[in-house]
């Protein structure tokens, strides 16, 4: 068992990946975290896989240079479009959000039918479809492009958001997928509206959150049991959190705290060379 704290790098195009960080902190409060939000170049959802791969590889290198011993690609779009390229360019282990989410959804489904929702880019990559079908599960993917801006607006319990979600969900659970029993959240913004989604879903549907699933996969991979402090070092009860953002630090603090559930202190503005 490793006797020192792990340093985990978390990468996302913006704020959504903070729900993955939040889940990681719940599962592994004893690690240290570096979070990279590429806020100047978001959204990734509308960019080509070539561009996304280039951005993601650059950010991953940055996190490795800062001491990350493992990379978590907390962005569904970057995972869906560029995971292979990131893995290829990295010299530390890499975990994306798609496989853990698909794994968990498969375990949760009795009917072998799962609906996955996400951004346009994630859905058109069919990453979840492939991952679920490979596990013998029938999958339907549904792009829900209006949900991200509503969540970023802070409208997580708003009637408008509920109405939009209801329309998407009714379309997704139509016809052959009336009997689907799992909704897989294939976008890191969606955990913020989990309660609202539960209200508009058929009663028998379980929500699987790829953020939570990813945190569990990371702890398994690191084989983390609570770490003992090295001899002579005080055991720190709090994780060290460092944030890097490519756009406004103020905006990152303001929006980010909503996703993380508490205030964000240590944010550094960085410019990545193109």
Residue 95 and residue 71 in contact, taking contact as beta carbons nearer than 8 Å = yes
Q: Say what angle helices 210-222 and 18-27 make with each other, to 10 degrees.
A: 50
Q: Is 144 a catalytic residue?
A: no
Q: Which residues face 245 on adjacent strands? A: 37, 269
182-185 and 138-143 beta bridge pairing? unpaired
Residue of 9, 66, 23 whose CA lies nearest to 214: 23
Q: Which of 68, 72, 74, 75 is catalytic?
A: 75
Q: Which residue among 187, 205, 241, 264 is the active-site one?
A: 187
Distance (Å) of CA 2 to CA 11, 25, 227: 24, 18, 7
The C-alpha atoms of residue 256 and residue 185 are separated, in whole angstroms, by 19
Catalytic positions are 75, 187
């Amino acid at each position: 068992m490793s006797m020192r704290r792990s340093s985990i790098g978390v990468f996302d195009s913006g704020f959504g990946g903070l729900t993955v960080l939040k889940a990681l902190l719940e599962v592994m409060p004893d690690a240290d975290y570096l979070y990279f939000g590429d806020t100047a170049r978001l959204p990734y959802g509308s960019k080509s896989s070539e561009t996304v791969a280039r951005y993601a590889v650059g950010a991953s290198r940055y996190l490795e240079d800062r001491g990350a011993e493992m990379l978590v690609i907390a962005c569904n779009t970057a995972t869906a479009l560029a995971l292979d390229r990131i893995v290829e360019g990295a010299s530390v282990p890499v975990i994306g959000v798609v496989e853990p989410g698909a794994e968990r959804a498969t375990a949760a489904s009795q009917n072998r039918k799962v609906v996955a929702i996400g951004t346009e880019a994630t859905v058109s990559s069919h990453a979840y479809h492939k991952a679920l079908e490979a596990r013998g599960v029938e999958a339907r993917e549904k792009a829900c492009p209006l949900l991200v801006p509503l969540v970023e607006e802070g409208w997580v319990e708003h009637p408008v958001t509920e109405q939009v979600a209801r329309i998407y969900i009714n379309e997704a659970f139509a016809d052959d997928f009336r009997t689907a029993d799992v909704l897989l959240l294939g976008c890191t913004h969606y955990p913020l509206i989990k309660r609202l989604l539960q209200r508009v879903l058929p009663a028998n549907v379980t929500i699987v959150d790829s953020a939570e699933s990813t945190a569990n996969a990371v702890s398994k991979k690191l084989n983390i049991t609570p770490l003992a402090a090295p001899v002579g070092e005080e055991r720190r009860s709090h994780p060290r959190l460092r944030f890097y953002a490519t756009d406004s630090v103020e905006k990152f603090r303001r929006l980010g705290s909503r996703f993380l559930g508490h205030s964000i202190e240590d944010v550094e503005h960085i410019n990545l060379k193109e």
